[in-house]
Amino acid sequence: MKNLLVTGYRANELGIFNQKHPGIPFIREAIKRRLIPLIEEGLEWVLTPGQYGVDLWACEAVIELKKDYPQLKLSVLAAFAGMDEKWSDEKKEYWQDLLKEIDYYGLVSKESYSGPWQFKARDGLLLRKSDAMLLVYDDEASPGSPRYFREAALQMQAEVGYPLIQITPEDIQSVAEDMQMDLTDATMDGDDWN
């Protein structure tokens, strides 16, 4: 697999409304943990639609991984121009900082938002350009925006064997527990020095 589409919920669908939310590092780490073996098996590009939420946290994960895997490339393919127009100043600044680290940024439509066709066109292009999908998704919860990607991936899986890899809430909880354990161990080790 050379090209992997990574996507999932938008931040507001997870009840996350700013970059200081304590759950973001766990989601980002879960993505990193899934990406590392794929990179070691030859993954070259991570593609994402660039929506505010899992897509951009995946960008952060890739940017961090590029320190150890400089061959890894990151692409954001947005549906339309000015997708950040209605974002808060904090979100816009965060997005501008991420853009500096992205290897390729493209637009499906150079116009501003004019209809759902732009999302459908973007999603179709991302699916055609990718060899597999990594999706942060909860089968038990209300479907939210990632359901369209999931349905398309499952259809492609049935037709051509397109791999769909999911990160579930249980996966993220496991990462959170691991990270908390690491933090506890580091704190305890620090106490030994007193």
pLDDT, residue 5, reads 98
Domain-embedded: residue 187: no
Type of residue numbered 11: A
Is the per-residue pLDDT at 183 higher than 80? no
Q: 25-58: per-residue pLDDT in tens?
A: 999 999 999 999 999 999 999 999 999 999 999 9
The predicted pLDDT at position 182 comes to 82
Report if residue 193 sits inside a domain.
Answer: no
Q: Is the dihedral of CA 146, 151, 154, 155 positive or negative?
A: negative
Q: Of 122, 52, 65, nearest to 93 (Cα)?
A: 52
Q: CA nearest 50: which of 99, 1, 2, 87?
A: 99
Q: Can you tell me the mean pLDDT for 13-33? A: 95
d(CA 28, CA 52): 13
Contact 145, 9 (CB under 8 A): yes
Residue 62 lies in a domain: yes
- Taking a C-beta distance cutoff of 8 angstroms, is the pair 122, 79 a contact? yes
**CATH number, domain containing residue 116:** 3.40.50.450
The percentage of the chain sitting over the pLDDT mark of 90, rounded to a whole number, equals: 89
The count of domains in the chain is 1
Q: Is residue 161 part of a domain?
A: yes
Report the distance separating Cα 52 and Cα 69, nearest Å.
25
Establish if 145 belongs to a structural domain.
Answer: yes
Query: Does the model's pTM come out above 0.75?
Result: yes
Amino acid residing at 97: D
In a domain, 177, yes or no: no
Residue 119 in domain: yes
**Does a structural domain hold residue 32?**
yes
Give mean pLDDT, residues 94-111.
96
Residue 150: give the domain boundaries. Answer: 3-169
- Averaged pLDDT of the chain: 93
| pLDDT at 194 > cutoff 50 | no
- pLDDT at residue 141, rounded to an integer: 86
pLDDT (tens digit, 9 = 90+) per residue, 75-100? 999 999 999 999 999 999 999 999 99
